[in-house]
Structure 1
Amino acid sequence: MTRTSYNTEKSRLEKEMAKLQKKIQTLQAKERKPKVAEIVRAMREYDISPEEIAAAFNRKTAGRAPSAPRKAAATTKRVIAPKYRHPETQATWTGRGKAPRWITDAEAAGTSRDAFLIAAESA
């Protein structure tokens, strides 16, 4: 049994790939023809000019490549000012989400959450 070299195998696969790409292009051309005919028929039926199509196409794709996927709107995170501060460690908490352990431990010991309010310190 003979072994095929790397270059021989690569060359064979590239030729096969070229044949498959040609088949794909032929198939796409066959699929496109009826679609184009359908579009032209609809344009004639509704009296739509190619200029109207071009204008509508350019409006929808302005600012991006026609095949580029749309990006989700960028979300910006707002910085939330802390609402509570631990008097000894100066650790802060905004009051959102799960309460930190120093708040829950203090509440379990009977201290009110209001004792840690930052506004109460400055008042």
Structure 2
Amino acid sequence: MTRTSYNTEKSRLEKEMAKLQKKIQTLQAKERKPKIAEIVRSMRQYDISPEEIAAAFNRKSTVRTPSATAQRKTGTASKRVIAPKYRHPETQATWTGRGKAPRWITDAEAAGTPRDTFLIAS
């Protein structure tokens, strides 16, 4: 692809993108009008003032921020560190007591040693 055809194609695509964005804006405006009318109808039906809506809107936005929501969804929020509950006396391997038991616990239990013998004294 030559330089001029690249620039020509890029220009054509940018114009097409601008047309599509304008169509999107027109469609959104068309869809918004009935929704706004529905909201106003509900406000009148339940005698809700715009100030009440603004107060509720501001209250909701301070409680749940987008970054906090994104952290919950992606799992990037800090996780609590769980202290180990069990320790192997020879290898010093530890286990929190959550999830599947490690092999050293299951082997010891199969041999007849109770799990309580591995408890860490606090």
TM-score (norm 1): 0.67
Matched with 2:113 is 112
* 1:37-48 matches, cutoff 5 A: 37-48=37-48
Q: What's the Cα RMSD here? A: 3.2
Matched with 1:10 is 10
Partners of 1:85 and 1:116 in 2: CA distance = 9
Aligned residues: 112
Greater Cα shift, 6-15 or 46-55? 46-55
Gapped runs of 5+ residues in structure 2?
none
Partners of 2:103 and 2:20 in 1: CA distance = 61
- Which of 76, 79, 82 aligns to 1:76? It is 79
The Cα of 1:47 is off from its aligned counterpart by: 1.7
Gapped runs of 5+ residues in structure 1?
none
Q: Deviations over 1:58-109 (max 9, x none)?
A: 11111555xx37242946333323523243x4444455532334862x666x
Matched with 2:54 is 54
- Name the larger-Rg structure: 1
Partners of 2:85 and 2:30 in 1: CA distance = 64
Matched with 1:100 is 103
Q: Deviations over 1:18-40 (max 9, x none)?
A: 00100110111011111111111
Seen in structure 2, the aligned counterparts of structure 1 residues 30 and 90 have a Cα distance that, compared at 3 Å, is closer
